[in-house]
Amino acid sequence: METAVLETRESELEKMLAGKEYDSRDPVLLGMRRQTRANLNRYNSDPTPENLAAVLGYEPENLTVVPPFQCEYGRNLKFGKNVFVNFNFSALTGAIVEVGDNCLIGPNVGIYTAMHPLDPDRRKEGVNFSKPVKIGANCWLGAGVIVLPGVEIGEGCTIGAGSVVTRDIPPRCVAAGNPCKILKRLDPRRETENSEKGIAK
């Protein structure tokens, strides 16, 4: 006697979170984006901790986000402790965006995980896919920085204003430009000496 095998169809949400191609017009995803926009509207007009928690789906620890603030799916934004985000922050969050502890994010910064097929016919069909972005602890992103899909910025980095980060940046670097390039690698020993001498870094 043969046993019937039931096939479980992967949802568009599951595909999106797995980094696979998905249909952005899916009713569940549309509903999630509508709910996020409604929560953002409340937060941007009344920036209370409770309204921010409603956007993110959790209560962040000592997070400041200066409105206005925009994102697709608040639940995919993962902030560490003691993060400051200045005004006009925008994030396309089809994939997870992680921001580590003690980060500073300047005004008009954009972090984008969303990608589209190069084939225009497939784009018309609403096909998307996303790649996660990770920003390590103790980073500073200057005003107008753009971080593109799949990028990882190591801990302790400074990214100069107006930079477009297209590739990974290793830890403890100063980087800037379009495309963003490493300008300086920080020497931990030198920084310790300067700190002990009271020299501005």
Residues designated catalytic: 116
Residue count of the chain: 201
Using DSSP, state whether 114 is helix, strand or coil.
strand
Residue-by-residue DSSP string for 16-79: HHTT--EETT-HHHHHHHHHHHHHHHHHHHS--HHHHHHHHTS--SS-EEPSPEEES-GGGEEE
| CB neighbour list of residue 60: distance below 8 Å, 6 or more residues apart | 52, 53, 79, 83
Pair type for strands 84-85 and 158-159: unpaired
Tokens of 1: 């006697």
Measure the CA–CA gap between 29 and 19, rounded to whole angstroms.
15
Using DSSP, state whether 127 is helix, strand or coil.
strand
